[in-house]
């Protein structure tokens, strides 16, 4: 049982912040990588590749993340895929993030002027070099505000992981409420912790956007 004191209760809820951040970072890392891959697949000239990517995106955007989470945690083990609660949470959130993120990446890539691609062709640059050195860096600037919003949504959305027993912030707060009957301290601390974490995410992306934009301005002036 937890002691019904303000400091112990607050510390118990704060202990869930580390799990929330870990779940967010891992899911965004995997989901972000998946976003780029799927966006490129949707722009492929191969019909089958485009179709697979489209089905993936539409499936995860059209179904509830709750159902996806429960499928990963309760159904996959019956199919021989044993996952811990944390792994199931990462899998569901990452796949969901990848679906939404791919549309952000695809839109940003389309926003790059066609003349940039023509210049790469004129310079006889390969596809990989053109993408990594010219197209993607410019698209990155356009997508950062949306990626920032998506990251914040993922951070807040990790609260669903409490449904399968992952001890993130909401799980810890609910545990405090159940064991002590105290509701004010745990849920007020949840508000504060989410506000602090989302503010840090927004600040970090804003700084990154400014740094990249200033870098490109410097390149343009030098050119």
Q: Are the C-beta atoms of 159 and 93 separated by less than 8 Å?
A: no
pLDDT, tens only, 205-221 = 999 888 887 765 544 44
Give the pLDDT score at 209. Answer: 86
pLDDT, tens only, 79-101 = 999 999 999 999 999 999 999 99
Q: Cα separation of 147 and 142, whole Å?
A: 10
CATH architecture of 6-217: Orthogonal Bundle (1.10)
């Amino acid at each position: 049982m937890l002691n019904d004191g303000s400091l112990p209760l607050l510390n118990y809820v704060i202990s869930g912040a580390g799990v929330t951040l870990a779940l967010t970072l891992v899911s965004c890392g995997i989901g972000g990588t998946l976003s780029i891959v799927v966006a490129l697949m949707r722009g492929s000239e191969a019909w089958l590749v485009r179709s697979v990517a489209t089905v993936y995106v539409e499936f995860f955007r059209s179904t509830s993340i709750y159902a996806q989470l429960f499928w990963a945690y309760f159904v996959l083990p019956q199919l021989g895929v044993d996952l811990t609660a944390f792994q199931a949470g990462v899998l569901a959130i990452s796949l969901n993030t990848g679906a939404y993120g791919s549309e952000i990446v695809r839109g940003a890539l389309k926003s790059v002027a066609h003349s940039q691609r023509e210049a790469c062709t004129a310079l006889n640059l390969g596809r990989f070099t053109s993408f990594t050195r010219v197209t993607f860096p410019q698209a990155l600037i356009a997508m950062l505000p949306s990626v920032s919003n998506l990251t914040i949504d993922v951070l807040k959305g990790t609260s669903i992981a409490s449904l399968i027993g992952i001890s993130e912030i909401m799980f810890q707060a609910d545990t405090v409420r159940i064991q002590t009957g105290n509701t004010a301290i745990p849920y007020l601390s949840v508000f504060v912790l989410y506000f602090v974490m989302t503010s840090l995410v927004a600040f970090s992306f804003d700084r990154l956007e400014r740094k990249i934009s200033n870098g490109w301005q410097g390149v343009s002036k030098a050119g």
